[in-house]
Structure 1
């Protein structure tokens, strides 16, 4: 399996293909704004905050992959902000997350295998694109697991049985 095929498989699982994990589309399906903003306690994140964080990093890395300038690094607490969420903004964010992963799939499909083996330009450490993008998928799956865990805690998760 090429790195390109590997990444396309990982992105499909993150976005909308059932595998060992539930995809993001399933994890967020039918979630109300109230449930998206619910927190188990003050020390934990809401699903909305996690979704905002995922969107931030998926988009940031997509810009970098497209060789566009990215802003200076930001602190994680800012990327988790769900301040000002409305029902409309929540639905837009869910759509943006799906569209962002679809864009990633298109970018990887169009990329050459050799680009995936290139060093990431202007990155503070030596890293190849395929490795960083594999880590991006791992980042998504980690947070998908958190989302499902939160949904189970709040009682909004309907498991397949």
Structure 2
């Protein structure tokens, strides 16, 4: 039981960020829609596309966890926004807030000791809550690094 509690605590820290990289709340704070939609030469995506991709992917993972009738979207078309920039600041803020909400939902799933971290989902092909939590953390960490680099290249980060 002690090991289970320790693992859950480590997962929460990993999902929250801030140990090896900036937490999302810090990274995305004060991000403007204008900056989020700017392109950088030789990069195929904008900050907006990364942020909205992170939102969509997190929501998709949570849908998989919670819905036994889950239908996988088409990769990569359904996972990436077509538009380079958000329609406005409200659209960007909505996507950022959805990431925060989804991350908190994942943390609650991990913290709930009635959820077996190792039991495969009956509607999957071996995925477990542990695997999905690690996937969210890895996916977010990967894209957090990209957003930081883009913000620096755009002169919008220290």
The alignment's TM-score, normalised by the length of structure 1, stands at 0.83
How far apart, CA to CA, are the structure 1 residues paired with 2:128 and 2:79?
Answer: 24
Shift of 1:38: 1.1
Aligned length: 152
Shift of 1:12: 1.6
Verify: 1:45 aligned to 2:45, yes or no. yes
Indicate the SS of the match to 2:52. Answer: helix
2:121–2:127 contact (8 Å) kept in structure 1: yes
Shift of 1:10: 1.0
Deviations 1:8-32 (A, max 9, x none): 121121xxxx222101111111111
1:4 — aligned with what?
8
Unaligned 5+ runs, structure 2: none
CA-based RMSD of the aligned residues comes to: 2.0
How far apart, CA to CA, are the structure 2 residues paired with 1:88 and 1:126?
Answer: 38
Shift of 1:111: 4.2
Indicate the SS of the match to 1:116. Answer: coil
The alignment's TM-score, normalised by the length of structure 2, stands at 0.85
1:92 — aligned with what?
94
Query: Structure 1 residues 79 and 42, CA, compared in 2 at 3 Å: closer, same or farther?
Result: farther
Unaligned 5+ runs, structure 1: none
Verify: 1:59 aligned to 2:59, yes or no. yes
**Which consecutive segments of 4 or more residues in structure 1 shift more than 3 A?**
none
Structure 2 matches for 1:1-161, cutoff 5 A? 1-2=3-4, 3-13=7-17, 18-41=18-41, 43-81=43-81, 83=83, 85-112=87-114, 115-123=116-124, 125-158=125-158
How far apart, CA to CA, are the structure 2 residues paired with 1:111 and 1:66?
Answer: 16
